[in-house]
Amino acid sequence: METMSHDPDETQNEAFRISMVCTGNICRSPMAEIVLRDLVEKAGLGDRVIVSSAGTGEWHVGEHADPRTIAALESHGFDGSTHRARQFDPSWFDSLDLVVALDRSHERVLRSWAHTDEDRSKVRLLLGFDPEYAGRSDVPDPYYSDAAMFESVLAMIEHSCRALLRQLEPAFRRSRLAL
């Protein structure tokens, strides 16, 4: 199996590329990246889907995920220890198929950075994939809260990532049969 790249600048033929985006890339988007990547791998689609994450701001570039993010992930069997924050680069739109914003402020920023209607159409809210969260747009930012909020946010992200994969998986399965 080909090694999966987590950098949208490094393209792989036929791979569907997703970037999860929050503010500083140390809380919500690393959770979403790690959870979705795990779900993709368990579904046997690791060779077809590349998942990355980034932030809209540069404040934390190069830093590890917030320790509370790492702890919440670890408590659910995920490893966030190797994550390093980075800022979303608008040039990535060309190599991405889906850009998942964790709240409406990220969605607005990302759409303002997009140069074409096609790129703007790639930006979607994570909770928009999950019927359970109908009427809600934003995954709450746990940064100024406690560990319990990180756990709550992770649960919301896990549920919504499962819903996202359920919507995408049939297309991946059909395309695999066509190869």
Catalytically active residues, by annotation: 22, 28, 141
Identity of residue 27 = C
Residue for token digits 């993709």?
Answer: 40
Identity of residue 39 = L
| Sequence-distant (≥ 6) Cβ neighbours of residue 22 within 8 angstroms | 28, 29, 32, 53, 55, 56, 101, 102, 103, 106, 139, 141
Q: Can you tell me whether residue 143 is helix, strand or coil?
A: coil
124 phi/psi in degrees, rounded to 5 = -140, 155
Cβ–Cβ < 8 Å for 106, 23: yes
Residue for token digits 């690791």?
Answer: 46
122 phi/psi in degrees, rounded to 5 = -80, -15
